[in-house]
Structure 1
Amino acid sequence: MLLAASCVGCAVALVSLVAYLTVQSNMYQQFDDSLIHRAAAAVKSTPVIAQFREVPSAVLVSSDIEIGLLQANGELIRPSNGTPPPAGSDELAVATGAASYSLRTDDATGMRVVALPSGNGQALVLAQSLEPTRRTLSDLSLVLFLFGGAGIIVAAVAGTAVARAGLRPVERLTSATERVARTMDLRPIPVTGDDELSRLTHSFNTMLSAVAEAQERQRQLVADAGHELRTPLTSLRTNLELLLAASRVGARPLSERDRVDMEADIRGQLDELTQLIGDLVELARGSEPRTENERVDMVEVVERALDRARRRAGDSTFDVSLQPWVLTGDPAVLERAVLNLLDNAVKFSPPGTTVGVQLRPLGDGTAVVEVADAGPGIAEEDLPKVFDRFYRSSEARTLPGSGLGLAIVKQAAERHGGAVYAGQSSAGGALLTIRLPGVPG
């Protein structure tokens, strides 16, 4: 509001000043031109002094001028009923021939005085009051001041209205952000219009949606993790309670076979918990901002993953076909993703079968890492869900695992600008694929 009023005030003041000075200059110029024209017309007929003294006073009053003949000796001849015009050294210089003409303002009387030569040794002097012109300029200055002030007031009022209307969406957005910070209520903010603030509100709503989605994923992860942890912890607690109960005085001791089975069961449950916690940590690390990436040779990544997978593959073997492919990324993350695919294939493949591993470019700027097993395969209804966190098909529930391995694969692929797919292999088992952008090595 202050800015608008100040700008309008400066503009009005500047325009008013320029207008006043222009009108003042034009009015004074017209006044002088008219006075000089009258004097020149009077000079054309050199007046006879006797007749000059007899000029009717009504003519002088109606024309609002004072007239006189100034002699070289300083004598001023005027009409008998008229008022003598101011005459000084400037007019005397014209009468004596020292100056061709004179034009001045007499400060004492407030009159404009012009003197023109009128024959030898005399000058015709005309004077006219500046009061009407000054009064007109005074009225003009008053009008400009009043209308300028009114314009500033109108500008201030309009600026206030515009500022309030413009800041109202900002106030709503500010209130909404304060509400979110205070209550963690992530509901979208209503949007009206299509101006910059509306687009800002749209962007803020998009951010709220992303935060709400992340919050929901976090809540779901915690719920799923709690659910998955409950089963091994419950079994572990049961076995420990049985061992403690059997060790009490007077309790029936466990047979050696039962004790060995319980200890093996406890070790298996601890391994399962360790794997689950490790997978959760891996997923949490995958959500962190990217570190500086490096050049990654996918052939080396797959070969390192194969070396680790062979050590725990038992009787399973790998049929490997690798073509050069290079991309920019995190080799450790990609190696973990490929290893998870290999471990998953070994887990579901019958002993003594072969797992197919391929790395091949597709010719569109991407390459795929395909892992095919000879297991029971994936049901059609499970294909869209196998990469979800903690999702395990009915066949997988009887096998060890946390349900996070393939979720880690998906996260690694998306982190590198790729995607994951699940399908059926030619041998009837599962075919899991990572698709990554890059260039041939």
Structure 2
Amino acid sequence: MERLGAGPTSGGRTTLEDPAHTSADGSVAPTGAPGERRDDEEEAAPPGLIRHVLQGIPLRRRVGILVSVGGGLLVALIAAAVFFTAQRALYDQLDESLVQRATVAASGDLADPSLLLRVSSDALAAGEVRVAIVTAGGEFVTLRGNSPPLGAAEVSAARRSPPTSVRTGVIDGEVYRVVAVYAGEDRALVLAQELDPTRRTLSKLAVVLLVAGASGVLLAALTGVAIARAGLRPVERLISATERVARTGDLRPIPVSGGDEIARLTSSFNAMLAALSSSIDRQRRLVADAGHELRTPLTSLRTNLELLMASEQASHRPDAPRLSEQDRAELQADLRAQVDELATLIGDVVELARDDPPEVAAEPLDLADVVERALDRARRRGVAENVTFDVDLASCEVTGDANALERAALNLLDNAAKWSPPGGRVRVTLRAGVAPERPGTAVLEVADAGPGIADEELDLVFERFYRSLDARTMSGSGLGLSIVAQVAERHHGGVSASRAPEGGALLRFWIPRS
């Protein structure tokens, strides 16, 4: 029987182990002053730096990197959870086995020191188990060369405070799992088993998890690249389409497949292309029609100017024919009329060429006052000198552009006066919602007693530059009613043409009331 000492001894005596410096798996806890920063601690990278780095990477690679990093972190977390769970399970299984064996041995003859000394040390070594008996006074009995790590925890077990202890100890450079159980008569039976087999099992598991984790990270990277390519392929089609539009001006729509957000984005882009194509087509038609309409007054203007210049040159030669004063006056009046017609045509073209409404703030106004001003202007024009206007205007509060509404009303009045016979009457009516199919609107009706509009032309009179066969012999550009339709559209209203009870044309213009 020997007593536990404070220093190293030979044979069966061992030093007192401090369990506070040994972890459950045999690793040594780090030492150092509290609050002291370790050298291997790194400060977290600022989020701004990560954002800056990602902004310099193409979107497809960015998505692939993020998916790969996310998959890699998930695989690493799963591998770490598996490893620590297996480690805890193996240590718990070993502790349970040692405690059970020590309890059975303590209830038998092995707790007798005299019997323990007769047990062959080779037999215990073959089982990788070391056995000792410790008393409450710190004395112990062990086999020479087969002593387990002993310390204060085993003495406490002999004193039954507590009656069972489990810890990790080191002796002769080997790590053991040490279990002590109370064996009666102020003695404790100590069993210690090497941890090398368990550690080798955990090492193999770590290698397997490392290989599986690396494979998982690689698979996550490949999956991320595949997801990025598949998910961003519609976006790449959109990019190619925009580059094609910018390079060639080709506005063909992009094929749409599926019903996800990318498909909706593609549909929206196709709608934008269709609107852009429609706008370009309208501009082209406007330019072509304007060029055709401008050619006639410009040709006539050039002819009259050349004739006037020729007469001026002929006045310096006595034998050359000369224009009479009446012909010269008629020629000059014709030139002034052609210039006025050309100016009006150019103004109408500029007005219709504007796809967006002019930046004029809408204001509340009475449409009856606007029509009255248009009537005053129409009466002062030569075309309305031989026409009488029958006016019936009701007050209608609307919100809109007063100048645009006045021009629309004036165009309707000019059109009716132009087609009315000499001494004819033009009926002008303004009512609030006179048409049952258009409640809540202010409706302006202008009816004349002229030849009227053919049924097949009722839907065409508001088209740009449209002129019937009878109208081609009269003055005008074919843009007046188009401007009326444009003003109605900008005010969320509409126009229509039909036959009037007087036998002529009945034109309606309506916009919402305030």
Shared topology, TM-score over 0.5?
yes
SS in 2 for 1:385: coil
Q: Take 1:374 and 1:29, find their aligned partners in 2: how far apart are those partners?
A: 109
Equivalent positions of 1:166-315 (< 5 A) are 166-248=231-313, 249-250=316-317, 251-285=320-354, 287-312=356-381, 313-315=384-386
CA contact (8 A) 2:286 2:353 kept: no
* Aligned twin of 1:41: 104
The residue that corresponds to 2:214 in the other structure is 149
Does structure 2 retain, via aligned residues, the 8 Å contact 1:191–1:198? yes
Alignment partners' CA distance in 2, 1:416 and 1:230: 33
Contact 1:391 1:403 (8 Å CA) reproduced: yes
Distance 1:295 1:336 in 2: 17
Pairing 1:398–2:473 present: yes
Distance 1:315 1:266 in 2: 24
Q: Counterpart of 1:150 in structure 2: which amino acid? A: S
1:433 maps to 508
The aligned amino acid for 2:392 is S
1:286–1:411 contact (8 Å) kept in structure 2? no
Match of 1:349 in 2: 420
Partners of 1:286 and 1:412 within 8 A in 2: no
Partners of 1:73 and 1:254 in 2: how far apart? 151
CA distance in 2, matches of 1:244, 1:207: 53
Unaligned runs of 5+ in 2: 1-63
2-side partners of 1:236 and 1:427: how far apart?
38
Q: Corresponding residue for 2:188?
A: 123
Change (3 A) 1:357 1:286: farther
Alignment-derived partner of residue 60 in structure 2? none
Deviation at 1:437, TM superposition (A): 1.4
Structure 2 residue 178 is matched with structure 1 residue 113: yes
- State how 1:52-71 maps to structure 2 within 5 Å: 52-55=116-119, 60=124, 63-70=127-134
Classify 1:105/1:374 alpha carbon distance in 2 versus 1 (closer, same or farther; 3 Å). same
Identity over aligned pairs, percent: 54
Q: Which moved more, 1:261-270 or 1:65-74?
A: 65-74
Task: Flag the 1:349–1:98 CA change in 2: closer, same or farther, 3 A.
Answer: closer
Which residue among 424, 441, 450 is the counterpart of 1:375?
Answer: 450
Deviation at 1:199, TM superposition (A): 1.9
SS in 2 for 1:60: helix
Deviation at 1:410, TM superposition (A): 0.4
After TM superposition, give the deviation of residue 214 of structure 1 in Å.
1.0
RMSD value, Cα = 2.3
Q: Which residue is equivalent to 1:334?
A: 405
Name the CA shift for 1:98/1:321 in 2 (closer, same or farther; >3 Å). Answer: closer
Could you say which residue in structure 2 is the equivalent of 1:26? 89
CA contact (8 A) 1:54 1:79 kept: no
Name the counterpart of 1:158. Answer: 223
Distance of aligned partners of 1:55 and 1:438 in 2 relative to their CA distance in 1, 3 Å threshold: same
TM-score, with length taken from structure 2: 0.80
**Offset at 1:434?**
0.6
Name the CA distance, whole Å, in 1 between partners of 2:422 and 2:401: 33
Deviation of the 1:72 alpha carbon: 6.2
C-alpha distance in structure 2 between counterparts of 1:327 and 1:435, whole Å: 11
- Residue 422 of structure 1 and its aligned partner are, at CA, apart by 0.8
| 2:461 pairs with one of 386, 395, 419 | 386
Matched residue, 2:31: none
- Aligned partner of 2:68 in structure 1 is 5
Distance verdict in 2 for CA 1:280–1:99, change over 3 Å: closer
- The Cα shift of 1:260 comes to 2.2
Across the two proteins, how many residue pairs are aligned to each other? 438
Query: Residues 58 and 392 (structure 1 numbering): CA distance in 2 closer, same or farther, change over 3 Å?
Result: same
User: Whole-Å Cα distance in 2 between the matches of residues 324 and 333 of structure 1?
Assistant: 18
Cα distance per residue 1:369-425 (max 9 Å; x no partner): 100001111111221111111111112112111111101000000000111101111
What letter matches 2:460 in structure 1?
K
Q: TM-score, normalised by structure 1?
A: 0.92
CA distance in 2, matches of 1:99, 1:189: 79
Q: Report the alpha carbon displacement of residue 128 of structure 1 after superposing the two structures with TM.
A: 1.0
Displacement of 1:195 in angstroms is 2.4
Matches within 5 A, 1:310-325: 310-312=379-381, 313-325=384-396
